[in-house]
Amino acid sequence: MSLLDITELSLSYGDKCLYKNAEFSLFKGEHVGIVGANGVGKSTFINICTGNTIPDEGQIRWQPGISRGYLDQHAAADAQQTVLEYMQASFSALFEKEKEMVQAYQRYSAGEEDALKKAEKYQQQLEAADFYSIEYRIMRIAEGLGLTAIGMDKQLGNLSGGQRAKVILSKLLLEEPDVLLLDEPTNFLDKEHIRWLSEYLTEFSGAFLVVSHDFAFLEQISTCICDIDEQSIRKYSGKYSDFLKQKKHLREDYIRRYTAQQKQIKKTEEYIRKNIAGVNSRNAKGRRKQLERLERMAPPAKTYVKPVFRFHSGREVHEEILLQVNGLAAGYYYPVISGISFTVNRGQKVVITGFNGIGKSTLLKTLVGQLQALDGNFSISEAVQTGYYEQEFSWDTPEQTPLAAIRSWFPQLTEKEARRHLAGCGIDSKKAGQSLSTLSGGEQAKVKLCRLTLQPANLLILDEPTNHLDDLAKEALKEALEKYEGTVILVSHEEKFYQDFADKIISLEQVRPRE
């Protein structure tokens, strides 16, 4: 029996149709990776499963009694709560039972004979629920996702967005629901914690749906792949690599059958045209009826075109050392990182690593002037033109379209030129006319990258630019950075993305650069 059945699912936003009569079922123990190009509706699919998005048509039926856990990175939480207190809330009912047990024992000690039976009953219930392993279970997950390094006594209100998301994920894993619904869970994790989460999910006894652009992660955790493409949902058995082979084979087979049918249709139409008024008129009319009854195959779905990113290195820099950082401390009201020293030479491609929450984004914000240094200093060559890619999506006017945004940033461009640049970066004419806030994360990332390609910059500072990009866009960005003649400072948790072009790795965990 399936845990979830979705039938005749249809959903459109304006003239953009995401699903049309789509079907999907989730069965007990299935580990499903959800894939598809940017903008096809992967996150929307998760929101439909949670009930946060209501489709235009269709039915979503969960098996009664099934518990579901959704990774909501914006979930409400008491800012004064500590990380440990928030995680312990997963077991609030058991802690309450423990309190009742203690009170029952106290009443028994005071001479209330009947209280002993109640206390023993509570004791048995706690033991059956494995109550006395709670501390171990909390610390196992906290260590696996790097929360112990952040500090279990740290208040939620003092956490960064990425740290807070890790805490919410930790609590979700502690609750052990029957079904996990995770949308890009690796975006805020570094490679060590991704590895731990991969192992955890591989051993997870329940079912899950996971949206991810980290295909190595999907390869390890998935037993089947749900592909969202051309308004439909199709499930493939096996790992991500198996899905790629199956999809390629099915597409090639479909193209062969479609081509053969088109050839036969053309041949039949030619026969009808030549013989409809001749001695073979009867045969021609019969073939015309057959042709009218023929169920014609739809043209093969278009393949997604790989975007092209080209960064312009701007004016030449003559100094050998482009950036010098000396004992830098950075943060908001107190230092998140301190004692950081390193240099970046002209033309180097430098990657900054470290566990999530160590302060990588804070460092970049300080280097671009969004934050003031709290101690130490840094110097950047006066000849530097900086192009900055910020991890967060924040638009001054989110209702603006990509086309209008590009033209407001670069007023010298004609509409045709702006459209051409957007199309080259993977934003077609339809998406160019939508408001920025309605675009998927990957589409918004492409708009930001398009902006970077249009501004001369001899120093690119990029904070997790691959987080929301599909495979083709990641490949295009990697190629662009390999060809780029300027200097790059990149924060990324995807070693596979940068390992071929990185000249230098700076680990903030070690403070000193690792060459």
SS3 of 115-182 = HHHHHHHHHHHHHHCCHHHHHHHHHHHHHHCCHHHHCCCCEHHHCCHHHHHHHHHHHHHHHCCCEEEE
| Contact in structure between 411 and 7 (CB atoms under 8 Å) | no
pTM for the model: 0.71
3-state secondary structure 401-433: CHHHHHHHHCCCCCHHHHHHHHHHCCCCHHHHC
What is the per-residue pLDDT for 73? 66
Other CB atoms within 10 A of residue 286 CB: 12
| Amino acid identity for residue 301 in this structure | A
Question: DSSP letter string over 268-312?
Answer: HHHHHHHHTTSTTHHHHHHHHHHHHH--PPPPPPPPPPPP-----
The sheet with strand 459-463 has its strands ordered as 386-389, 459-463, 487-491, 349-353, 504-507
Domain covering 78-176: architecture: 3-Layer(aba) Sandwich (3.40)
| Amino acid identity for residue 10 in this structure | S
321-507: which CATH number, 3.40.50.300, 1.10.8.60, 3.40.50.740, 3.20.20.60?
Answer: 3.40.50.300
Sign of CA dihedral 67, 71, 75, 81: positive
Which regions of the chain carry the CATH code 3.40.50.300? 1-67+177-267, 78-176, 321-507
What is the per-residue pLDDT for 512? 42
CA distances from 149 to 138, 154, 256, 286, 339 (A): 14, 10, 56, 78, 18
Residue 430's Cβ-count burial label (10 Å; 0-12, 13-18, 19+) is exposed
* Partners of 33 in beta bridges: 210, 225
* Partners of 389 in beta bridges: 462
Per-residue pLDDT of the chain (515 residues; tens, 9 = 90+): 799 999 999 999 877 789 999 999 999 999 999 998 888 889 999 999 999 999 999 999 999 999 999 987 667 778 888 999 999 988 888 888 888 899 888 888 888 888 888 888 888 989 988 888 899 999 999 999 988 888 899 888 888 777 888 899 999 999 999 999 999 898 888 888 899 999 999 999 999 999 998 888 999 999 999 999 888 999 999 999 999 999 888 888 988 999 999 999 999 999 998 888 877 888 888 999 999 999 998 888 766 678 999 999 888 888 899 999 999 998 877 788 889 999 999 999 999 988 777 788 899 999 999 999 999 999 999 899 999 999 888 888 989 999 999 999 999 999 999 999 999 999 988 889 989 988 888 999 999 999 999 999 999 999 999 988 888 899 999 999 999 999 999 999 888 899 999 999 998 876 543 33
SS3 assignment, position 481: helix
What is the per-residue pLDDT for 440? 86
- Residue 324 main-chain phi, psi, to 5 deg: -125, 120
SS3 assignment, position 92: helix
Distant-in-sequence, close-in-space partners of 50: CB < 8 Å, separation ≥ 6: 68, 70, 181
Other CB atoms within 10 A of residue 336 CB: 21
1-67+177-267: which CATH number, 3.40.47.10, 3.90.100.10, 3.40.50.300, 3.40.470.10?
Answer: 3.40.50.300
Max CA-CA distance within the chain? 113
Q: What angle do CA 212, 42, 421 make, to 5 degrees?
A: 90
Sign of CA dihedral 391, 31, 41, 300: positive
- What are the CB-based long-range contacts (under 8 Å, 24+) for 124-131? 125/97, 126/94, 126/97, 126/98, 126/101, 129/94, 131/91, 131/94, 131/97, 131/98
| Contact in structure between 145 and 169 (CB atoms under 8 Å) | yes
- Of 331, 515, 499, 309, the C-alpha closest to 421 is 309
The sheet with strand 335-345 has its strands ordered as 335-345, 321-331, 375-380
